[in-house]
Structure 1
Amino acid sequence: MNFLSRCILTCLSLFCVLSTAFAQQNGRKRESFNEGWKFHLGHAADATKDFNYGLVNIFAKSGKTDSTAIAPAFNDTGWKSLQLPHDWAIELPFENRDNENLKDHGFRPVGGLFPQNSIGWYRKSFAIAAADSGRRFSITFDGVFRDAKVWINGFYLGGNESGYVGFTRDITDYMSFKTPNVMVVRVDATQAEGWFYEGAGIYRNVWLNSYDNLHIADDVFVHTDVKGNAATVTLEATIENQGLTAATGSFYANITDRNGKLVGKTQLQNFTIGQSGRQLVKQQLMINAPQLWSIEQPYLYHIKPIVSVNGKQTDSRDIHFGVRTIEIKPDGVFLNGKHVKIKGTNNHQDHAGLGAALPDYLQYYRIALLKQFGSNAYRTSHHAPTPELLDACDSLGMLVLDEQRLLNSSPEYMDQFERLLKRDRNHASVFLWSIGNEEGYAQTNSYGKRIAQTLLAKQRELDPTRTSTYAADLANVFTGVNEVIPVRGFNYRQTGVADYHKDHPGQPIIGTEMGSTLSTRGIYVKDTVRAYLPDQDISAPWWASRAEEWWPLAATNSYWLGGFIWTGFDYRGEPTPYKWPNVNSHFGVMDVCGFPKNLYYYYQSWWKDEDVLHLSPHWNWPGKQGQIIPVWVNTNADDVELFLNGKSLGKKIMPRNSHLQWDVAYQPGVLKAVATRNGKKINGQVKTTGAAYKIKLSPSKNVLLADGRDAVVVNVSVVDKNGLEVPDALNMINFSSLGDARIIGVGNGDPSSHEADQMDGNWQRSLFNGYCQLIIRAGKTAGNVVVKATSPGLMPGQTGLVLK
């Protein structure tokens, strides 16, 4: 079983554990609210096309929403039915205009230039049993892009400006128990927050919560202190009484291991809380000989704080946490006392075919791909991450640098920062906070210094167990933010790190953005017409560096904590150095599908302690017999000898943190490398293939949960008659599926492709240099699913899936 398959099994186990945990929380329910929505575009510049929003005075009287889409009786039968998460921007056709904002968002026509595409309306009707009329209800949106306003049964619940930080609203007072309830969300994506693809819509999960009037608030904080062979677990929780009379009850907490075995229980603590009162409780529990959370063994415990009245449980939470220590010193990051060089990646949140609306499974899939090439850390650039991303990092063993969207201490952004801290501080994977990124208008002056001090004070207040950095695109500069930030972050400018360390030896230094090699998977000649760059560590923009320029510095100097590559995956928007027809970045060590580029194997050579030997390019070069082909070898071996069709082309010593290169006169056949590592022989080869013959489908797993939410990635290639994958194939592939599962997106990693990512039917995608991909979401009916792929002139391919 390969690494990715093991990770997938871990994911399945986690999903089962979480589902069981939700079901077993007596008194509290947290139910997915993703299904049964209706959607329609509005209009940012024409109120009549925006369902009269802006024409009707909806704030004159509470609940008065007649003649708008907010009204419960509004007829939405003609609206599109869909399941969340949903990103309407990815459904739009590309728009070629010479506009910087449009370019940076992947040429998707959303924003001020496109008022007809920038407002989205969502409606959902749902019933609540009369037996639950004495309970409290709230709704949680994990992420809406952007500027969301929410109503229920015509009553306004409030708005949320951030496109990334989630929000919860109490809906108890507005619930109907006799007739269906109607929730309405208006999303305004006119204004962007970043300079990269951000999507549009309710693109993360939504949850309906129900619980007792006497309950545990959302801001539970769990942290640990390890000394010797024991750990003290501290639980801080707020008990809230939203009943109409005072309440008396008891509070305690259970800790269980990953198998549900009881590890310990806190002392029972009695309380009395007045009407609309809150009480903070703080309890501690010792775990002897704890299993420590680490990158290699990401062990998670569960803590269940419980409130009971007269011996009857009224509320509980189920929080997974890890026991571990993090120390950040000038000479390194130490996890459980062990030095860890940070081998990280920056990433935005979009994926091929899906835009920003990823099923939860895709978070695990992507983190597993990053771990496969040796990455141990993830920077959430530049925004609050999806909660399930942190769950994936917790369960798979990936450190996280968790980042605030904007360096700002106004009430709006302090509120966003506080929500981020409270939501994410229980995650074992989070080892460091970031208060911002490249704030050129503030980072070097007194504004930036004062804002940073305010944000840092809030971070220490809400999470004294960690510290913070800031991503500065500056060399040896100590003014502004850098005067007060505990950990100095460098975005590029790596040649200034040594001088900065010399001047400030007591301040830890981390590369918050490094590298930025520009490459296109499977392309080996610069192509300015199609906007492609060679798939090797050759090109970088003026402000950045190639992999072999920054990593040797970080690898060999202890004052580098390590660094984060820009980026792990390609992403939509910010095309560099080209504009149209290029619609996404070239920065990733993998493309937007997660297919590796050759740079992937450079990092794998020096980031993993296992045998690596990779040759590039492929060996299909018809018409180039006798022409020189530069051959790159990425390996961590001691030496390499290269052979073409059995003839030696010479042996070379492998320099550390580098690569080897031969100029080879092309002849079809077998190009083989024989390497020696620690006295052991390692072999690798590329081989000339025949013509494309048959389609091959490779699912990331074969068993899915029949829960309507699980998903699978199916990678597509073509093979010749000998079963060899054809690396330069460009065939158009058509897809269909039979059974209770549906295709929700397709992609191929081509940064200049203008093919549709999503379709209403007749799914298809061309191969790009041998590969394309489809993503399938499970239905709710157990049984078999067959996925088929066809293409003119090729033998069809198919794969079977099982829904359980």
Structure 2
Amino acid sequence: MTLIGLLFSILLPAMAQQPPRLVTDFTNDWRFASGDYPAAKDKAFSDAGWRTLNLPHDWSIEGQFSEHHLTTTQGGALPTGIGWYRKTFTLPATATGKRVYVEFDGIYRHSEVWINGHSLGTRASGYSSFRYDVTPYLTSGPQVLAVRVDNSAQPNTRWYSGSGIYRNVRLVLTSDVAIDQWGTFVSTPVVSEKKATVKLQLTLRKTSAAPERVSVRTRLLNPQGKLVAEQEQKNNLLKDSVTALPVPVQLIVASPLLWSVEQPDLYALVTELYTERGLVDRDTTQFGIRTFRFDAATGFSLNGKPTKIHGVCLHHDLGALGAAVNVRAMQRQLELLKNMGCNAIRTAHNLPAPEFLDLCDRMGFLVMDEAFDMWKKKKSKRDYGLDWDQWHRIDLETMVKRDRNHPSIILWSIGNEIREQFDSTGITIARELAGIVKALDPTRPVTSALTENVPGKNFIYQSGALDVLGFNYKHTAYPDFPKLFPNIPVLASETGSSLQTRGHYDMPSDSVRMWGKPKGDFTEGNPDWTASAYDNEAAYWGSTHEQTWKVVKKYPHIAGLFVWTGFDYLGEPHPYPWPARSSYFGILDLAGFPKDVYYLYQSEWTNQPVLHVFPHWNWTKGKPVDVWAYYNQADEVELYLNEKSVGVRRKTGDDLHVMWRVPFEAGTLKAVSRKNGQVVQIREIRTAGKAAKIELLADRTAISADGKDLAYITVRVLDEAGNLVPDATHLINFDLAGPATIAGVDNGYQASLEPFKASYRRAYNGLCLAIVQATETSGTVRLRAVSEGLQSAEIIIETKK
């Protein structure tokens, strides 16, 4: 046994009792008050009258929609302002002799943090992660952490941002010699079916004055937790406060399990530091072994397999929960997208929560990790452009160092629709940003989402800084890209901006409507602020879903696309003004209910049999109704009305749906898909009668009693026969008993002004949603839904430790 190995075996029992690094969740029992309280930074300040809450927290989502907030219409017409947070805590006994850090994953925005009255620093970006060393300012007895958050300068964003400490917080205790924050960088420079090389570059931090000699032990565990390789490096001399080890650790893995979207296997690298005092730090880094390539002619490949990127763009809000991070809420979003056939996410247009990237690693999503929506030239009056000079390098370095071990990430995006692409400043800044990225991670390509696709007019392209070109919209130019941009890979980085309201249908549906840019009073649209759920409406700059996917599907040189957007999001309610307050672009609505176009992608992007027929079948007698069907794995679809054939339709050319125009007659509409004359699937839609009862459906009936886990309860308004009533708008009241709370309610309607934090919700087109959040107590939760004139319903959720 080696000396390090012997030392490890001797110290193992003590290590189990006293970890060399202690990471503590720091989200419980904060005090919060809205408004400005300058004296709250002082330790002696009394916050006894403040509200007690747990983080993550978004105070904007708790407010009321109001025209008084119309300076933030693009941001959702919810209140912003200034808020203060304070936490009083006692250090654990294990803190003796340790360095103590507080880590924030994100605060929106312009934050300043104090410990015991001492300012630790400020941060401008609302999306960047950071930490402070609080050790020099600790005192005996209780400690007081205070945070001022200033989101009062409006408008500072083009979508809903949320306000407050809306991501997670940790207290971290380390020795005076430790692995630096984000100090591990794992890469796999050589990958084949037979073996893979795993390379670890390590950066250490030393806070002691004297030089230290450090030995490093690295163990590699496969996805089943079995040790597959290990290495020791002895007597590394640390002189400076931050030292990158000159010789990277290299390990060989035989017959590696490759990370992919179908099989997202994750390895773990356990790194331990030893000084003459023994074990001083241990860190575990999860990563994946995989290889990928962008090619100008053939698009994208993963582990040598050609793979079309079936992506969506996502903002960071979680619907009724706002911007406050919740792992289950993000997981539900990704589950719904995975079921649709989506395999990639673009984090539009900022650093996501680190937990989101963890989920993408585990669930098998490719990621374009995006840093900025603007550079120095701002898009809103008070946005990040004002902070650019001071903060852009720090924030970009943070993104790369924090996120570079995630196997899901295949692209670093340095910007979205940046205005500097139209003048020579784009050349200088693009080269600077790409240089920052490459210095920290030379293993991944750099891109930017561009709007100008004329080479001579696009200065970011002319900079030569981009490894992959991302273009937003203008899908008719895609076939010409090999001539316009020879020998450089191309991606459709943002597509669509198609407009739909779930369950609303305008006819006729066989012509495309492009919504113009509103000027003054908007008069083009519907009086109820709806858009048709047929895929035939789009913003003036965009296209329908079918129009773009047909082109991307056809041409192999287009690596794939990212649809704008996967979900509706708060803010940017194009094309309507107030009282519309959320977007119409999503494939799923804000509550997570699929719009009909969801099944277009499912029919194209998955191997599961699909036959989706719409719209509903409640109309005026004799009215011509356009019936659409999305289908796959079949040659044809035959439609029947009350058992009489309306006709057979087959997709021709590059069509992605079929259509019938049918005079309405109450009864049953039935679609039958066939292949070679054999029935593949049957779908029926029945005319619904009068609303009679409520149905409750939970995505999960058992959740964790951890104070964070969620159950999403779909509320359906049905007739006596169990048919969804497609125009039901009943007010549903919720009564909850047991160890849980109602975290939010929603119905997906873009112009609903009901609050998200409530015990009631009006159904929209027959549906609404209640989100139940567990407490930290196990037990039985009963949610009851009641509405006047309807039979009530009850559902039971078990919460377990």
Q: TM-score, normalised by structure 2?
A: 0.90
Q: Which residue of 1 aligns with 2:482?
A: 501
Distance 2:242 2:431 in 1: 32
- Is 2:82 aligned against 1:82? no
Q: After the TM superposition, which of the residue ranges 744-753 and 495-504 deviates more from structure 2?
A: 495-504
Q: Which residue of 1 aligns with 2:380?
A: none
Q: After the TM superposition, which of the residue ranges 189-198 and 387-396 deviates more from structure 2?
A: 189-198
What's the CA shift for 1:140? 0.9
Q: Which residue of 1 aligns with 2:604?
A: 606
**2:631 counterpart (628, 632, 635):** 635
Q: After the TM superposition, which of the residue ranges 596-605 and 150-159 deviates more from structure 2?
A: 596-605
Q: Which residue of 1 aligns with 2:452?
A: 474
- Is 2:652 aligned against 1:647? no
**Contact between 1:353 and 1:774, CA under 8 Å: does it hold in 2?**
no
- 1:345-398 Cα distance to aligned partner (Å, 9 max, x none): 011111222111131111111111111111111000000111111111111111
Which residue identity is paired with 1:320? Q
- 1:696-748 Cα distance to aligned partner (Å, 9 max, x none): 22222222222222222222213333333333321111123222221111111
- Is 2:225 aligned against 1:260? yes
- Is 2:80 aligned against 1:102? no
- Is 2:20 aligned against 1:27? yes
What's the CA shift for 1:549? 1.2
Q: After the TM superposition, which of the residue ranges 430-439 and 684-693 deviates more from structure 2?
A: 684-693
**Contact between 1:476 and 1:497, CA under 8 Å: does it hold in 2?**
no
**Contact between 1:144 and 1:204, CA under 8 Å: does it hold in 2?**
yes
**Is the alpha carbon distance of 1:71 and 1:770 closer, same or farther for their aligned partners in structure 2, counting shifts above 3 Å?**
same
Distance 2:69 2:249 in 1: 59
- Is 2:107 aligned against 1:144? yes
What's the CA shift for 1:476? 2.6
**Contact between 1:476 and 1:496, CA under 8 Å: does it hold in 2?**
no
Which residue identity is paired with 1:209? V
Q: After the TM superposition, which of the residue ranges 549-558 and 312-321 deviates more from structure 2?
A: 312-321
Q: Which residue of 2 aligns with 1:64?
A: none
Distance 1:173 1:263 in 2: 41
What's the CA shift for 1:680? 5.2
**1:420 counterpart (399, 411, 414):** 399
Q: Which residue of 1 aligns with 2:312?
A: 345
Match runs of 1:333-372 below 5 Å = 333-372=300-339
**Contact between 1:640 and 1:673, CA under 8 Å: does it hold in 2?**
yes
Q: Which residue of 2 aligns with 1:15?
A: none
**Is the alpha carbon distance of 1:24 and 1:199 closer, same or farther for their aligned partners in structure 2, counting shifts above 3 Å?**
farther
**1:453 counterpart (420, 425, 431):** 431
**Contact between 2:706 and 2:775, CA under 8 Å: does it hold in 1?**
yes
**1:207 counterpart (134, 152, 170):** 170
Q: Provide structure 2 residue ranges, at least 5 long, that are not aligned to the other structure.
A: 1-14, 377-387, 508-524
- 1:162-214 Cα distance to aligned partner (Å, 9 max, x none): 011111111111223x3211110000102354211111111111111111111
Distance 2:599 2:132 in 1: 47
- Is 2:183 aligned against 1:183? no
Match runs of 1:428-439 below 5 Å = 428-439=407-418
Match runs of 1:154-233 below 5 Å = 154-176=117-139, 178-191=140-153, 192-218=155-181, 219-224=183-188, 225-233=190-198
- Is 2:798 aligned against 1:802? yes
- Is 2:553 aligned against 1:555? yes
Distance 2:686 2:392 in 1: 55
**Contact between 2:295 and 2:557, CA under 8 Å: does it hold in 1?**
no
**2:762 counterpart (760, 766, 772):** 766
Local SS of the residue matching 1:363: helix
Local SS of the residue matching 1:207: strand
Which residue identity is paired with 2:625? I
Q: Which residue of 1 aligns with 2:421?
A: 443
Distance 1:766 1:792 in 2: 12
Local SS of the residue matching 1:138: strand
What's the CA shift for 1:776? 2.2
**Is the alpha carbon distance of 1:571 and 1:282 closer, same or farther for their aligned partners in structure 2, counting shifts above 3 Å?**
same
**1:531 counterpart (526, 529, 532):** 529
What's the CA shift for 1:301? 1.0
Which residue identity is paired with 2:447? T
**Contact between 2:421 and 2:452, CA under 8 Å: does it hold in 1?**
no
Match runs of 1:273-352 below 5 Å = 273-274=238-239, 276=241, 278-280=243-245, 282-310=248-276, 312-330=278-296, 331-352=298-319
Match runs of 1:739-750 below 5 Å = 739-750=738-749
What's the CA shift for 1:590? 0.5
Distance 1:581 1:712 in 2: 29
Local SS of the residue matching 2:45: coil
Distance 1:289 1:601 in 2: 38
What's the CA shift for 1:578? 0.8
Which residue identity is paired with 1:618? H
Q: Which residue of 2 aligns with 1:38?
A: 31
What's the CA shift for 1:228? 4.1
Which residue identity is paired with 1:740? P
Local SS of the residue matching 2:480: helix
**Is the alpha carbon distance of 1:277 and 1:347 closer, same or farther for their aligned partners in structure 2, counting shifts above 3 Å?**
closer
What's the CA shift for 1:311? 7.8
Which residue identity is paired with 1:767? A
**Contact between 2:98 and 2:176, CA under 8 Å: does it hold in 1?**
yes
Distance 1:195 1:181 in 2: 38
**Is the alpha carbon distance of 1:661 and 1:275 closer, same or farther for their aligned partners in structure 2, counting shifts above 3 Å?**
closer
Which residue identity is paired with 1:222? V
Q: Provide structure 1 residue ranges, at least 5 long, that are not aligned to the other structure.
A: 1-21, 43-49, 54-67, 111-117
**Is the alpha carbon distance of 1:172 and 1:523 closer, same or farther for their aligned partners in structure 2, counting shifts above 3 Å?**
same
Distance 1:703 1:312 in 2: 44
Distance 1:208 1:657 in 2: 56
Distance 1:715 1:750 in 2: 15
What's the CA shift for 1:642? 0.5
Q: TM-score, normalised by structure 1?
A: 0.90
What's the CA shift for 1:540? 0.8
Distance 2:131 2:94 in 1: 24
**Is the alpha carbon distance of 1:23 and 1:267 closer, same or farther for their aligned partners in structure 2, counting shifts above 3 Å?**
closer
What's the CA shift for 1:525? 3.1
**Contact between 1:299 and 1:322, CA under 8 Å: does it hold in 2?**
yes
**2:368 counterpart (395, 401, 408):** 401
- 1:83-121 Cα distance to aligned partner (Å, 9 max, x none): 11111111222222695x4221111233xxxxxxx1111
Aligned length: 746
**Contact between 1:611 and 1:677, CA under 8 Å: does it hold in 2?**
no
Q: Which residue of 2 aligns with 1:513?
A: 494
What's the CA shift for 1:795? 2.3
Distance 1:470 1:25 in 2: 46
Distance 2:112 2:583 in 1: 32
Which residue identity is paired with 1:136? R
Local SS of the residue matching 1:318: strand
- 1:647-671 Cα distance to aligned partner (Å, 9 max, x none): 0001111234521111111112211
- 1:527-584 Cα distance to aligned partner (Å, 9 max, x none): 6222101111111111111112111110011111111111110011111111112111
Which residue identity is paired with 1:741? A
Local SS of the residue matching 1:368: helix
Q: After the TM superposition, which of the residue ranges 345-354 and 256-265 deviates more from structure 2?
A: 256-265
Distance 2:224 2:20 in 1: 23
- 1:136-165 Cα distance to aligned partner (Å, 9 max, x none): 111111111000000011010001110111
Which residue identity is paired with 1:638? D
What's the CA shift for 1:23? 9.3
Identity of aligned residues (%): 40
Alpha carbon RMSD of aligned pairs, Å?
1.9
**Is the alpha carbon distance of 1:194 and 1:25 closer, same or farther for their aligned partners in structure 2, counting shifts above 3 Å?**
farther
Which residue identity is paired with 2:551? L
